[in-house]
Amino acid sequence: MTNLAAKIPLPVQAAAMRGVFRLPAMLKRLIAGKPVTRDGQTLALDAQLLVKLTAASGINLTSNSVAESRAGMEINVDLLPSPPLDVTSRDLRMSTPDGELPARLYTPRDYAEPGPLLVYFHGGGWVLGSVRTHDYAARFLAEHSGVRVLSVEYRLAPEHRFPAAVDDALAAFDYAHKHADELGVDQQRIAVGGDSAGGNLAAVTALQCAQRGGPAPVFQLLVYPEVDFVTKRRSRQLFAEGFFLTDADMNWFEGHYLSPDDDRSDPRISPLLAGDLSGLPPAYLVTAGFDPLRDNGHAYAKALEEAGVSVSYQCQRDMIHGFINFAPLGGRFREATLEIAAALRAGLAYAR
């Protein structure tokens, strides 16, 4: 965040953000500028407005230090409105082979125990983010899907590089399965999901469960996941900068998450490169049109389908990376996130 933005009190910045997004579309367009079209797609007005505002304020996803980047993401959450959601939550700690993991369990109104559960992994490039930064996203998914959500505070890099987050994600699923009665959920209706880096962890968890045999998720919710650290596809260049997540950000995340000697083709890093994807649970995979990760996600959906996995793929062509975090702003962000919640509801409705 720039020095100018830092000098403006946070409540003032938050009020300004809320006010701008409540303006009539005509005024939003005046602020955002002419429509942006690339690769046959037109950026949603709400997304273009957000990009314009963040650029003007100097807000970046990553900065020189990990501490500054983490603090920035936490602060940016407070700039967003907090529309009320009829969801209760409680914090808990999960015992794992590597120690206790904090988590937060969200329960929608009228949830009938034992019901379905989504074990959720937040985004942030394996370096940033927390249960707190994704609190609204988890609440939103719980309320609009009717599914209980367990959001996991997995270990972050660079303090804990690969495979720490992978180990935590698998351990979190195993904990949920083992403690289903305690959590008030149906052991046979547990899904894994996440956004961005969290989508990667969800995909990797599903893959590892299939490979080992035994307890496994019945559904995977993959929101603009990173699935291939080896191949840089066309969207990586097309949307390298100017649309929230940048190519520089991705390089920054990789440099902190992985060590130089790590094999980028390891399926625990790049699930798209696994030799066998058969036997995986059904998946809903969504990408954003103006996202460097778009083509990787699409490639994974095709690979799953070719392996005989039931997969529903949706590209929100007018959206940017991270759109579920901006659902509190309403408009297209909320609409796109509602579709994800609907897919989760449908995916777990009859899963067994």
Residues known to be catalytic: 196, 291, 321
Question: 15: left (phi > 0), else alpha (psi -120 to 50), else beta?
Answer: alpha
CB-based contacts of 256: which residues, under 8 Å, 6+ apart?
66, 125, 126, 127, 157, 158, 161
Indicate the burial class of 182 (C-beta count within 10 angstroms; 0-12, 13-18, 19 or more).
Answer: exposed
Q: How is residue 59 written in tokens?
A: 């807000």
Q: How far apart, in whole angstroms, are the C-alpha atoms of residue 352 and residue 335?
A: 29
Number of other CB atoms surrounding residue 147 within 10 Å: 29
- Report the amino acid identity of residue 1: M
For residue 187, give the 3-state DSSP assignment: strand
- Position of tokens 């975090």? 325
Residue 227's closest CA among 169, 172, 295, 164? 295
E-assigned strand segments in 176-310: 185-195, 220-223, 283-290
On whether the CB atoms of residues 321 and 292 are closer than 8 A, the answer is yes
Q: How far apart, in whole angstroms, are the C-alpha atoms of residue 187 and residue 178?
A: 8
Cis peptide, bond prior to residue 163, ω within 30 of zero = yes
Query: Would strands 99-108 and 41-42 be described as parallel, antiparallel, or unpaired?
Result: unpaired
Residue 176's closest CA among 281, 95, 283? 95
Query: Would strands 220-223 and 185-195 be described as parallel, antiparallel, or unpaired?
Result: parallel
The angle subtended at Cα 60 by Cα 57 and Cα 62, nearest 5°, is 155
CA distances from 258 to 162, 204, 248, 271 (A): 6, 15, 15, 15
